[in-house]
Amino acid sequence: GYTVSELRQRAEAAYAKGNWFDAHYYAETGISVASPKDTNVELLKQTAAAAWNKLSLAETPAETEEERVYKRKLDGYKLLMDGDNLKAYYVFRTLSMQSHALSIDPDVVRYLGLAGARLAAESFFIDETFNMQEFETAGNVYFTIRRADGSTDIVYIKGITSMKGTDGMVQYLRGLSVFSLDKNGAYARSMYVQYAKLLEVPVSDFDDGTRIALGIDGRTEYVPYVLLRSVDRDTDGIVNKPQYRYADAGEEDEKGQLVLPIPYDDFELLAEASKGAELMSIPALFHFAGKAVQYGYSEEVFGQVMLNRILYPLFILVIIVCSASFAWNYRIGEKLMFKTVWTAAFPLFSVLAYIVFEALLWLYKLFNYVFLGAAGRQYALLVGCGVYIAILIIASIVFLARNSADAA
């Protein structure tokens, strides 16, 4: 952004060139960001007033095509200054499609871009979601958000499509539902929208009052910001809005945006968790296991799967060493000739080996659950590593001792 002094200089330069729109815009922007004691404020007010007087000359009935275009520009600019970004966007969008000359008109290009940028923080275009379902990266995502006042939001998303946007990753949410329960667990309200657009926004964009009201933790850097309303790119009046329902018929608070008071990284973990604990990457599983309860999942389930996957190499090493020891004990003697009839026992031995391995694997998972219950999630991994390493050392000593005894 520009400093107040730079905005004043730009406003004065635009006024000198007869560009009343830019002169008024820069002057008003400077006034809005300047402190009351700033010496530039009076000069900015003078420039804004003078530019507005020039713009107001267009209030007379338009007769020529040029006057009508100028009048439409002024209407769009007024809407932009009043904060009606959607209406302003359609005014300048219509002008830009009216002719090639207007599509490259500096005022139209500038304020269409400005209205579009502001609109991007409020809504998204319907055509952005065409054929998105084919490229979904996650589905059936659900989690709970517990708020400080005791109420709970239950969030369900049918599908998520992640795409690279100009400002980072953008995620389109298909079939977003939010069910809200009060502190007593009673139904309070619900919201459903066919498609929503999720952005990653920094918490620094919110002031302290807003952050506290939303329930965002002070240590959080980025949060999911969800746009619930989608509009047509070219035609005014075509809008997809979220559907709200309330337990109390007198309550109406139909917002077009939603801030999820959770870290953005946690949302990505939740999307990955929807695939199942067995399919999550080990780093994601390790981070999510400690947060599972916070979002309505079972810590034991994710904790056990984490132990099963991390300790599995040690388990296999133990099996290999024990199998080697067993094979050494029952090896064929040096003077005993191999008999072809023995090959008939191979299928039976294969089935027995499979049954034994599955039984050991079941015991392995059971022991991991015991470690989790006895030591807790924080220390279960250390306890499990210690136990399996101890078993591996004992099995290795037994194996080496048998080899040494036979050699002697």
Q: Is the same domain home to 253 and 377?
A: no
pLDDT over threshold 70, residue 333: no
Q: Bridge-partner residues for 208, per DSSP? A: none
Q: What is the mean pLDDT of residues 335-348?
A: 74
Mean pLDDT, residues 177-181 taken together: 95
Amino acid 261: pLDDT = 94
315, 323, 307, 304: which is closest to 391 by C-alpha? Answer: 315
* Amino acid 59: pLDDT: 59
Asked whether residue 362 is domain-assigned, the answer is yes
- pLDDT at res. 1: 63
3 state SS of 255: coil
Give yes or no for a contact between 178 and 154, defined as CB atoms under 8 angstroms apart: yes
Same domain, 84 and 131: no
Q: What is the pLDDT of residue 70?
A: 79
Number of domains within the chain: 3
Encoded amino acid at 143, one letter: F
Neighbours of 73 (CB within 10 A): 22
Q: Is residue 28 in some structural domain?
A: yes
> Is the same domain home to 106 and 169?
no
HSE, CB side, 13 Å, CA atoms: give it for residue 401. 7
Residue 363 in domain: yes
Among 122, 149, 170, the domain-final residue is 122
Please provide the average confidence, as pLDDT, over all residues in the chain: 87
* Residues 249, 141 share a domain: yes
**Could you give the CA distance from residue 33 to residue 245 in angstroms, rounded to a whole number?**
39
Does 58 score more than 60 pLDDT? no
pLDDT at residue number 62: 57
Encode pLDDT of 14-55 as tens digits. 888 888 788 888 888 888 778 877 778 888 888 888 887 877
The CB density around residue 359, as the number of other CB atoms within 10 Å, is 10
φ, ψ for residue 198 (rounded to 5)?
-110, 130
Within this chain, do residues 67 and 173 fall inside the same structural domain, yes or no?
no
pLDDT at 60: 58
319 and 232 fall within a common domain = no
Query: Residue range 331-338: average pLDDT?
Result: 69
Asked if residues 329 and 402 have their Cβ atoms less than 8 Å apart, the reply is yes
Let me know if residue 331 belongs to a domain: yes
Quote the pLDDT of residue 160. 95
Q: Is the domain of 152 the same as that of 250?
A: yes
Does one domain contain both 239 and 149?
yes
Distance from C-alpha of 125 to C-alpha of 239, rounded to nearest angstrom? 9
Residue 273 is assigned to a structural domain of this protein? no
Last residue of a domain, one of 122, 143, 169: 122
Task: Tell whether 369 is covered by a domain.
Answer: yes
Q: Are residues 260 and 131 in the same domain?
A: yes
- The span from the CA of 149 to the CA of 223, in Å, is 20
Q: What percent of the chain has pLDDT over 90?
A: 49
pLDDT in tens, 59-100: 556 567 877 887 888 888 889 888 899 999 999 999 999 888
Position 156 scores a pLDDT of 97
pLDDT at residue 408, rounded to an integer: 52
Residue 259 inside a domain? The answer is: yes
> Distances in Å between the alpha carbon of 152 and those of 116, 146, 167, 346?
35, 5, 31, 59
Q: Report the distance separating Cα 102 and Cα 315, nearest Å.
A: 72
Do 8 and 76 reside in the same domain of the chain?
Answer: yes
Residue 372 token pair: 């989790």
Residue 278 maps to a domain: no
pLDDT attached to residue 404:
61
Confidence class for position 2, pLDDT limits 50, 70, 90: confident
Q: Are residues 130 and 157 in the same domain?
A: yes
State whether 150 and 222 are in the same domain.
yes
Sort 249 into a burial class: Cβ within 10 Å, 0-12 / 13-18 / 19+: exposed
Q: Which of 234, 264, 294 is the last residue of a domain?
A: 264
> How confident is the model over 239-250, as a mean pLDDT?
87
**pLDDT at residue 208, as a whole number:** 87
Half-sphere exposure of 6 (CA within 13 A, CB side): 4
C-alpha distances in Å from residue 268, one per residue of 58, 153, 285: 52, 18, 12
Q: At residue 303, does pLDDT exceed 60?
A: yes
Q: What range does the domain containing 339 cover?
A: 311-407
pLDDT digits (tens, 9 = 90+) for 185-238: 899 999 999 999 999 999 998 888 888 888 898 899 999 999 999 999 999 989
- Position 170 scores a pLDDT of 92
CB 25 within 8 A of CB 52: no
Measure the CA–CA gap between 274 and 296, rounded to whole angstroms. 12
More confident residue, 367 or 35: 367
Note the Cα 401 to chain centre separation in Å: 56
Which phi and psi angles does 400 have, rounded to 5°?
-65, -35
